Copies of this chain bind each other. A is one copy, B any other.
Amino acid sequence: MQKLRVQNFGISLDGYSAGPNQSIDCPVGVGGMALGEWFFPTRTFRRMHNPDWTANLPDHLSARQDGAAGIDDYFAARGFENVGALIIGRNMFGPIRGAWANYDWKGWWGENPPFHCEVFVLTHHARASVAMQGGTTFHFVTDGIEAALQRAKAAASGKDVQLGGGVATVRAYLRAGLVDELHLAQSPVLLGSGESLFTGLDLLSLGYRCVERVPSSRTTHIVLTRS
């Protein structure tokens, strides 16, 4: 059975998966980069992203170019196994809100995005698909989350579909009971405000249970599934 999976999704101790005041210079909000500090040093992340991208990371995270193995890398790698397509929200695709002024923006990730599959972008504003290098194609879906899931499953050739984010998109799929597996990485930091993953969302009533909790030195991996 094809699953819809959220993987490697950062969350703070106080339940925020993005900080406040998101902008083009700070796409995950103020403080939000701290949620990725477990992920950036992993071998999986290093191999996915080109050196140019990681050149801007702080020294203590970018020093080991080969990347670290271990618990964090195990979960990072598992998150990308058997993934055949990706769904993301429009705010994760870019900082532009409302109608497209032009079609220059092609995502945060450069000419060769690290996805290498069909990517379905939820938006209210239609746009032609954009083929990138390396096998990534962005499709823009204007008829809702269930339609996007259907198209992504069809594109995934029997593999699972990854739900990339952002927070509002993950919440919409959770509320509809469409997420089969949710892997959170809880960093030992407070964000104080921003986008809360849980507020107003009764995951217990929606059928979710915690099936794994594995602490590492940088984060706590938590896996929820729906029964």
Residues of A in contact with B (beta carbons under 8 Å apart)? 13-15, 31, 184, 188-193, 196, 198-199, 201-206, 208-210, 213, 215, 220, 222, 224
Report the separation of the CA atoms of residues A190 and B224 in the bound assembly, to the nearest whole angstrom: 9
- Contact B210–A220 (Cβ < 8 Å): no
Q: How many copies altogether?
A: 2
Report the separation of the CA atoms of residues A189 and B31 in the bound assembly, to the nearest whole angstrom: 26
Given contacts A190-B224, A220-B220, 12 further A-B contacts (CB under 8 A): A13-B222, A14-B15, A14-B201, A14-B203, A188-B213, A190-B209, A192-B203, A192-B205, A193-B205, A196-B199, A213-B220, A215-B220
Given contacts A31-B204, A204-B31, A220-B215, contact A15 B198 (CB under 8 A): yes
Contacts of A203 in B (CB 8 A): 14, 190, 192
Contacts of A205 in B (CB 8 A): 192-193
Q: A100 to chain B: closest CB distance in Å?
A: 35
Q: A222 to chain B: closest CB distance in Å?
A: 6
Q: A14 to chain B: closest CB distance in Å?
A: 4
7 residue pairs of the A-B complex, CB under 8 angstroms, read A13-B222, A188-B210, A188-B213, A190-B224, A192-B203, A192-B206, A193-B204
- Contact B210–A13 (Cβ < 8 Å): yes
Given contacts A204-B31, A215-B215, contact A210 B198 (CB under 8 A): no
Q: A16 to chain B: closest CB distance in Å?
A: 9
- Contact A204–B191 (Cβ < 8 Å): yes
Contacts of A201 in B (CB 8 A): 14
